[in-house]
């Protein structure tokens, strides 16, 4: 896992506070409120295992609610608000854990739960919100977590970014200088910061100055060149942050870090791909198998309704494009009336949509949708047979959506990068407004997912898919 050192530092402190709060609450509870005193010293291995598991649960909750992002833990009001919310969520997790593990001090006592909430909130407020800010500033002054940053782009965007960071730098970022292909080396851009060379010089400059992070702030750049620069930086081990308007959809849909109110979009892989994809396939097979077993009654009922309501097969099979442009057979419940030949009107509309000449909405011929199909499509229930694709290995539970061959043929080269991973049943685009995002933005969201791929991002997207289906958000 590749995260900045300060995030591990905060996670260790959080874990210690949670364990300390549990032990302190246990001691107070049995000293004051319980009929029989039980010292924390007498806790057995099972009880301590539950406490440690609870600590891990809270770390994941804190991560999910962005408490390890600098613009959160360095802003006290926002920090306290999210911290309170995280403790409530974590407490609900603790109650669930205690219910299944039967740890009596928790499951049988509202007093213990109240004590833990008050104790943990107090300790976090004092230690995390106030004391840790002082410690973090002290640590930064000793250059322990200081990050040496290169800025790619010495134009208006890059200069503005440098000015804001230099004005009040509480993030531990030291700007090494600029890289730019259009401005001569040695040119002063802001204060004493100069252009250090061309973008192609980045590997040499990174080694010479020991830079760890790069911010891409280039004015007037196209997607292809931007993605090429991102890949160049990733290959040499730099943490890559992007402030380009081309990625502007991400801060609108995803909680992002900010440097001095400038959204910075992290596009640096954080997991070993080999390990991640092994774990992903295991979870895919398990999830698809469990899903098919639990949904088998629904399959039978839906199959009967489709067969009785219109002519044609129950399962609609279609060729789609998967990883690395490889075609595969894609399964859905049939939701439309069968027609002879190809739907040329839909094809032409989709090509216009890809080229940016059509409205940002899902392209569907409403006249072709069957009565049962309207219900299935509204709640995305027609997608459930794709669990069979997951079992076959053609798809994953989470990933970019597969496309039709003619759509793939009309993609620009940069857009085809979304097929560098196995396509999925759901993804970031689907849970962020499926029918409300233009085509380029949908690709950018897929590329953001690919560059931030992790097990808990997958879990977040899976959990967010359920309300999207339940409330029919974007389904047509």
Contact residues for 109 (Cβ-Cβ < 8 A; gap 6+): 29, 33
CATH number at residue 229: 3.40.50.720
Pair (173, 280) in one structural domain: no
Evaluate if residue 29 carries a pLDDT over 90: no
Q: Percent of the chain scored above 70 by pLDDT?
A: 88
Report pLDDT digits (tens) over 419-467: 999 999 999 988 876 666 788 999 999 999 999 888 888 988 998 888 8
Contact residues for 141 (Cβ-Cβ < 8 A; gap 6+): none
Domain final position from 266, 294, 311: 266
Whole-Å CA distances, 262 to 137, 162, 434: 21, 11, 26
Pair (119, 151) in one structural domain: no
Pair (136, 154) in one structural domain: no
Average pLDDT, rounded, for the chain: 86
Pair (449, 396) in one structural domain: yes
Would 343 be classed as within a structural domain? yes
Pair (206, 291) in one structural domain: no
Cross-strand pairs, 330: 318
Report pLDDT digits (tens) over 171-230: 678 899 999 999 999 999 998 999 999 999 999 999 999 999 999 999 889 999 999 999
Pair (131, 151) in one structural domain: no
Residue showing tokens 């609610």: 65
Degrees to nearest 5, angle at CA 218 with 360 and 72? 75
Total tally of structural domains belonging to the chain: 3
Residue 104's pLDDT is 55
Domain final position from 216, 251, 266: 266
> What would the mean pLDDT of 247-252 be, rounded to a whole number?
87
Would 475 be classed as within a structural domain? no
Contact residues for 343 (Cβ-Cβ < 8 A; gap 6+): 365, 368
Would 133 be classed as within a structural domain? yes
Pair (436, 340) in one structural domain: yes
Pair (67, 199) in one structural domain: no
Categorize the per-residue pLDDT at 92 as very low, low, confident or very high, splitting at 50, 70 and 90: confident
Would 125 be classed as within a structural domain? yes
Pair (92, 135) in one structural domain: yes
- Tokens representing 282 are 């295991």
Residue 128's pLDDT is 93
Return the SS3 of 49: helix
Residue showing tokens 């088998």: 296
Pair (371, 319) in one structural domain: yes
Would 476 be classed as within a structural domain? no
Pair (299, 430) in one structural domain: yes
Would 12 be classed as within a structural domain? yes
Would 46 be classed as within a structural domain? yes
> What would the mean pLDDT of 373-388 be, rounded to a whole number?
92
Would 114 be classed as within a structural domain? yes
Query: Which phi and psi (to 5°) does residue 4 adopt?
Result: -60, 150
Residue 43's pLDDT is 67
Which domain, by its residues, includes 223? 147-266
Report pLDDT digits (tens) over 161-170: 999 888 766 6
- Tokens representing 391 are 């079992």
Pair (348, 235) in one structural domain: no
Domain final position from 141, 171, 196: 141
Categorize the per-residue pLDDT at 417 as very low, low, confident or very high, splitting at 50, 70 and 90: very high
């Amino acid at each position: 896992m590749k995260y900045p050192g300060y995030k591990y530092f905060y996670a260790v402190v959080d874990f210690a506070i949670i364990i300390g709060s549990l032990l302190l609450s246990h001691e107070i509870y049995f000293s004051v409120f319980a009929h029989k005193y039980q010292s924390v010293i007498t806790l057995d291995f099972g009880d301590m295992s539950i406490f440690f598991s609870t600590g891990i649960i809270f770390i994941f909750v804190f991560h999910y609610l962005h408490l390890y992002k600098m613009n959160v833990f360095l802003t006290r009001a926002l920090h306290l608000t999210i911290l309170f919310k995280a403790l409530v969520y974590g407490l609900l997790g603790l109650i669930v854990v205690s219910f299944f593990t039967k740890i009596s001090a928790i499951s049988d006592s509202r007093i213990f739960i109240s004590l833990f909430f008050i104790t943990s909130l107090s300790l976090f407020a004092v230690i995390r919100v106030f004391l840790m800010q002082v410690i973090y500033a002290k640590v930064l002054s000793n250059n322990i977590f200081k990050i040496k940053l290169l800025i790619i782009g010495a134009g208006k965007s890059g200069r503005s970014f440098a000015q804001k960071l230099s004005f009040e730098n509480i993030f531990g970022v030291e700007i090494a200088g600029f890289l730019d292909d259009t401005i001569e080396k040695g040119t002063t851009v802001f204060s004493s910061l100069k252009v250090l060379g061309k973008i192609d010089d980045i590997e040499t400059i990174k080694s010479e100055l020991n830079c760890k992070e790069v911010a891409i702030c280039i004015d007037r750049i196209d997607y292809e060149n931007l993605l090429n620069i991102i890949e160049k930086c990733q290959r040499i081990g730099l943490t890559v942050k992007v402030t380009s308007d081309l990625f502007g959809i991400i801060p609108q849909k995803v909680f992002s870090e900010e440097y001095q109110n400038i959204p910075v979009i992290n596009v640096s892989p954080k997991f070993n791909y080999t390990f991640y994809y092994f774990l992903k396939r295991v979870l895919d097979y398990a999830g698809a198998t469990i899903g098919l077993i639990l949904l088998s009654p629904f399959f039978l009922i839906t199959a009967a309704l489709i067969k009785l309501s219109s002519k044609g097969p129950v399962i609609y099979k279609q060729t789609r494009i998967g990883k690395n442009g490889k075609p595969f057979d894609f399964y859905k419940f049939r939701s439309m009336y069968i027609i002879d030949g190809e739907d040329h009107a839909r094809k032409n509309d989709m090509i216009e949509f890809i080229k940016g000449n059509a409205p940002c909405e899902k392209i569907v011929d409403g006249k072709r949708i069957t009565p049962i199909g309207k219900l299935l499509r509204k709640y995305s229930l027609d997608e459930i047979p794709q669990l069979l694709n997951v079992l076959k290995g053609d798809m994953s539970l989470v990933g970019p959506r597969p496309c039709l061959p003619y759509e793939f043929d009309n993609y620009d080269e940069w857009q085809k990068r979304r097929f560098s991973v196995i396509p999925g049943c759901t993804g970031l685009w689907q849970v962020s407004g499926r029918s409300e995002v233009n085509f380029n933005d949908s690709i950018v969201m897929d590329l953001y997912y690919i560059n931030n791929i992790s097990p808990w991002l997958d879990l977040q997207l899976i959990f967010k898919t359920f309300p999207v289906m339940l409330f029919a958000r974007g389904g047509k």
